[in-house]
Structure 1
Amino acid sequence: MAMERQQAEGRLLDLLKDAAQEGLINTSQITKGFNRIIDAVDDLSLDIPDARGILQSLISKAASEGWLSASSLKSLSLAPVKQPLEDNATKIFKTKAQFIIQEYFLSGDISEVSSCLESENGNGVAELNAVFVKRLITLAMDRKNREKEMASVLLSSLCFPADDVLNGFVMLIESADDTALDNPVVVEDLAMFLARAVVDEVLAPQHLEEIESQFLGLESIGSKVLRMANSLLKARLSGERILRCWGGAGSSRPGWAVEDVKDKIGKLLEEYDSGGDIREASRCIKELSMPFFHHEVVKKALVTIIEKKNERLWRLLNESFCSGLITSYQMMKGFGRVAETLDDLALDVPDAKKQFVHYVEKAKVAGWLDSSFCFDKSGHDIENGTRP
């Protein structure tokens, strides 16, 4: 409030000072309160442009009056470490994401969500993907098991880059203290969402280690979430139990639909690659009725092309693109997903990266990919299989 109404700053600081001196608020609670504001300063900056500077000033005043130990606070830089997006763009996207998710919980239409995201974040900006993941799970945690299951199914279906999903979970854990005020079981919920993401192969087990490294301390919420998630994953028959955690009940449930579709895609590509008819293969892709998941067709086809050094499946991709069956957005997602697996693919196909560079350029020439498409995690193109 002191940051929003600076004319009241003096009175509010005096109130906190008096409360501290009277013992109504202890040092630990004061420190925790300021740390929570530090954690939320990026969000506050959307409404208060100079939030960092104002907060730094408040900390300095409180420390000079002796009722706050600045050395016990988290680090606060006067400028954000990175600001890849315009604040206003992020704020607008958050509002739209909330509407998209609320509509999805009512309709269950994954295709519509994918279409909306393609419209609002067509370039797949990593920060916006992470924002969407955070908002999706936050809204689901406030609802019943039906919506939690729907959120996990959607997360699996959208196939965001794993790093974006990971960053979304990091943001969720960072804000867990605030979430706990309304949701006392936030640790259990986040642990289950994390475990489910691993079972659904949205995240890999090593991603949990990356998250854990950012939340040290046995009593931190991050550590508690990670311990519980790992415990869930190590339990007997964990995969089956986690898939059913919110009421999923076998292949008739949406949680299993994605795996079924992956199998069907693998079989139709295998059949076409073995000499099948291109029109029949196209018909099978169309009959999947999951246009938001066509990036899986692109990914599997491209991996097969690289592994077998056989371009027969390239003709199917070209036909699918030219007919409008597979959109440029789905092509981009498919190529992006292959880029994420290049290191593993190179273990079996030593020239996988070199081949991938070739096919990316070929796809750009064909108009499948935008000329700005890049695929190295650092954002730089890879040339001839190596980074510049």
Structure 2
Amino acid sequence: MATDCEAWLNANPVEAGNLSDSFPSGDEDSTFTANVNNEINGNWISAPTSTIHEARLKAKVKRRLRKNSSRDSGRGDSLSDNGEAVRSVVPPTSPKGKLLNRRSRTGKGRGLPKKGGAGGKGVWGTPGEVYGEDEVDYKDPNYDAEQENCVYETVVLPLDEEAFEKTVTPIVQEYFEHGDANEVAELLAELNLGSMRGDVPMLAVSLALEAKASHRELTSRLLSELCGRVLTAGDVQASFHKLLKELPDLVLDTPGAPQMLGQFIARAVADSILPKTFLDGYKGRVDCEYARAALDRAAVLLRMSRWTGLRIDSLWGSGGGQRPVTQLIKEVNLLLKEYLLSGDTVEAERCLRELEVPHFHHEFVYEAVIMVLESTGERTLQMLLQLLKCLCSSTIITVDQMRRGFERVYLDMPDISIDVPCAYSILERFVEQSFNAGVIDRKLRDLCPSRGRKRLISEGDGGHLKLQNY
């Protein structure tokens, strides 16, 4: 700025009287118009008095121009043609305008925004301006156009053997509760199974061997559902090969593992997830007796399905909650009849557990009492009483289920007595013996209905019960 002022002064000399800030003194009356070039790098060299006086006038003009340019910048100040500063009329500003004014309040500087606009509010611009597409310099040689098309994905590491068991085992166990194969397929698809994919059927079958028959049925359905979505036919085949090799270890925990594995193989062949030639590959090459037993079991079942029409798809049966009530009643009656023929209490307990209907045990009690009322001998009463006592002692049948079974008999006694005239007397005797054996409590015994007097006891019989052939 100072250099521009000097150039203008050299080209347009002005008189000192016109630029003075005060009234002229005696020393300033005489003026000089000669050009002075005795200033070097801001330092004055020795010169005559007239030259020094003219140099002072120039310095005063410089200060005046600097002061006007810094203080009046942006206010419309300008210089006239003869070099005089002309101030334009500016309306007074409000106090609010002074607060928002970016000009320096100390009187220094040129009044421009600090740092060229940086350092104040909004200096970095709005988020849209900073991160928007307009701010991207596509002409920058360091800019890579492929950055816009980058897709970031989460990398899931493949599971090792320990992590595989900890992750997949809870999924299979929860499946045994809800039975939703689609949910299991979705959860397994989210995992990076890697080389452990072929161990999924092996783990599921191993857990099912120690579970219930309904869980084994669910496992067979799960394998059929996963094949083609999460697993391949090769994965399923490799898993059954490993299971046959590990049968000696599985038998230690589950003695019936060879027969169960044979049924799993037969079911897999029937569901078309194992090739029909799977069994042919083992002919004459099996040294393990457990593996031989499993393969023989599978071969027999497949032969029976082909010759006798055995339905392998229902080999495991269905869970207790999934079977109709009529089918459960038939199975309960069959269980009681087999017990009356064999007298094996342990086998009867095992069969009742395998029904997996703890909420339906009151039907078992009801059918047992009805058999006692319809029987003609003492043997049936004592055997069924012994069975109920064992089931009650082992808590297979709970107190609530036992009570509900007896109460159902009490309510149906009017209809039962039509077919069995002596039903009331037999019921009283059975209820009394059940109370003495600890099968029922006193309250349930007292609820037992009494026999009716109509057509059974006359006034002259002394209150004795008549025989059936009266």
**Is TM more than 0.5 here?**
no
TM-score, structure 1 as length reference: 0.38
Q: Which has the higher contact order (CA 8 A, sep 6+)?
A: 1
TM-score by length of 2: 0.32
Higher gyration radius (CA): 2
Higher helix share: 1
